[in-house]
Amino acid sequence: MAPARLSAVIAGGGIGGLAVAIALARRGIEVRVCERRSEFPEEGAGIQIGPNGSRILQDLGVAEFLADKVATPDALVVHDGASGRELAQLPLGAWIAKRHGAPYWTAHRRDLHVALRTHAENDPRITLARASEIVSYASEPDGIAAIGANGEVLNASFLVAADGLWSTLRGSISGSSAKPHPLGKIAFRSVTGAGNLPSELVRNAVHIWLSPGAHAVHYPVNGGRDIALVVIVDNASAAEGWDAPAAADAVKGKIKSFAPPLRSLVESAQQWRQWSLYRMPPLPRWTSGRAVLLGDAAHPMLPFLAQGAVMALEDAVTLAAEVAASNGNLESALHDYERQRRQRVTKVAEASERNGRIYHMRGPAALARNTVMKVRSPERVIAGFDWLYGWEPRSC
């Protein structure tokens, strides 16, 4: 157990901020989560939670709040976008749960966020503050002073900046002025009723449709009652933010080259939102004194491996374990967290970027990709991701 006097201020009440709050509180640390918005952000569509993430949610005691909200897909079905032909059906469900001792879940981002928040609200060591934006911090002899936009000064042993892709604190902690830059792809997301899934498609599955310069992904959420849909297309223009509305007709216009079942599913969804994809080169450092970056603030993650939220969960439990074992040397604990996480997230980010290139291939490269997918053993393909899904925290 960590000494009782340790306390943390967390800037950002997203998935990473709430998860690290819970993980630290379990170690006996007093935590204040400062969320800039007046309400915790519950927008978003689907989130996939591989065994490396579901294991953490189970260990943190969050899974009980997700019981009727997650789905456990049996397979990942890859389609040629234009013909709809199945290229591969990779095992998830019982197969992957047995292999890694934890399930592969799909969920609505809102439900994951609500589960984390409900758990955090029930923990007396966690204070959740809304409309509380942290704009800077100052180092103190035995801690930090986090400075709010309203001039409020919050003292704590250390500061965790979990303030997302557009992090305010990234520059001062990392010493880098680098900003995320657009990838040239835009994502559209929506949710539709499970009854709208065309009958020819496998029901309880993650489906990926590959087309030149575009791909679509859909999977069950809300305990299988709904389907989350994402369509990602090459697109030069870019805008900040996660939640701009998109016209349904604009999305339909982007999927004309896809086979009828995917088009019919997309047409059943009424409300669309869009966000541009951004990438960032690795930062020179994630820690400065007693301030540390976590989640998207430390390492923005492209969505092609569906690991953005899970990497924030992994960060959370790693940071909490290091702080708890710090023996009073917090700065060294924060460095140890960074050292452990950096190599891992770099590998995941590279794999995600590679997937993005493979998904959007054109011409002969796409044909070669499809042939390889058809001949490879499905179990071997998923086993190739053991390094990803088999990750376990040292102790939680």
The contact set with ligand FAD (CB under 6 A) reads 11-17, 34-37, 41, 43-45, 47, 109, 133-134, 162-165, 168, 189, 242-243, 295-297, 303, 308-309, 312
Q: Please state the closest distance from residue 375 (CB atom) to ligand FAD, in A.
A: 31
Q: Please state the closest distance from residue 16 (CB atom) to ligand FAD, in A.
A: 3
Q: Which is nearer to ligand FAD, 149 or 383 (CB)?
A: 149
Q: Please state the closest distance from residue 310 (CB atom) to ligand FAD, in A.
A: 8
Q: Which is nearer to ligand FAD, 41 or 91 (CB)?
A: 41
Q: Which is nearer to ligand FAD, 35 or 59 (CB)?
A: 35
Q: Phi first, then psi: what are they for 256, rounded to 5°?
A: -60, -30
Q: Please state the closest distance from residue 110 (CB atom) to ligand FAD, in A.
A: 9
Q: Please state the closest distance from residue 380 (CB atom) to ligand FAD, in A.
A: 27
Q: Please state the closest distance from residue 208 (CB atom) to ligand FAD, in A.
A: 14
Q: Please state the closest distance from residue 32 (CB atom) to ligand FAD, in A.
A: 11
* Three-class secondary structure assignment of the chain: CCCCCCEEEEECCCHHHHHHHHHHHHCCCEEEEECCCCCCCCCCCEEEECHHHHHHHHHCCCHHHHCCCCECCCEEEEEECCCCCEEEEEECHHHHHHHHCCCCEEEEHHHHHHHHHHHHHCCCCEEEECCCCEEEEEEECCEEEEEECCCCEEEECEEEECCCCCCCCHHHHHCCCCCCEEEEEEEEEEEEEHHHCCCCCCCCEEEEEEECCEEEEEEEEHHHCEEEEEEEEECCCCCCCCCEEECHHHHHHHCCCCCHHHHHHHHHCCCEEEEEEEECCCCCCCEECCEEECHHHCCCCCHHHCCHHHHHHHHHHHHHHHHHCCCCCHHHHHHHHHHHHHHHHHHHHHHHHHHHHHHCCCHHHHHHHHHHHHHCCHHHHHHCCHHHHCCCCCCC
Q: Please state the closest distance from residue 390 (CB atom) to ligand FAD, in A.
A: 21
Q: Which is nearer to ligand FAD, 11 or 87 (CB)?
A: 11
Rounded to whole angstroms, how far apart are CA atoms 47 and 275? 15
Q: Which amino acid is at 201?
A: L
Rounded to whole angstroms, how far apart are CA atoms 37 and 18? 14
Q: How far is CA 361 from CA 97, 185, 255, in A?
A: 31, 14, 16
Q: Which is nearer to ligand FAD, 48 or 157 (CB)?
A: 48
Q: Which is nearer to ligand FAD, 43 or 386 (CB)?
A: 43
Give the residue at shortest CB distance from ligand FAD: 14
Q: Which is nearer to ligand FAD, 295 or 393 (CB)?
A: 295
Q: Please state the closest distance from residue 294 (CB atom) to ligand FAD, in A.
A: 7
In the numeric block, the tokens 């498609």 are attached to 201
Q: Which is nearer to ligand FAD, 96 or 146 (CB)?
A: 146
Q: Which is nearer to ligand FAD, 241 or 328 (CB)?
A: 241
Rounded to whole angstroms, how far apart are CA atoms 58 and 53? 9
Q: Which is nearer to ligand FAD, 29 or 306 (CB)?
A: 306
Q: Please state the closest distance from residue 59 (CB atom) to ligand FAD, in A.
A: 18
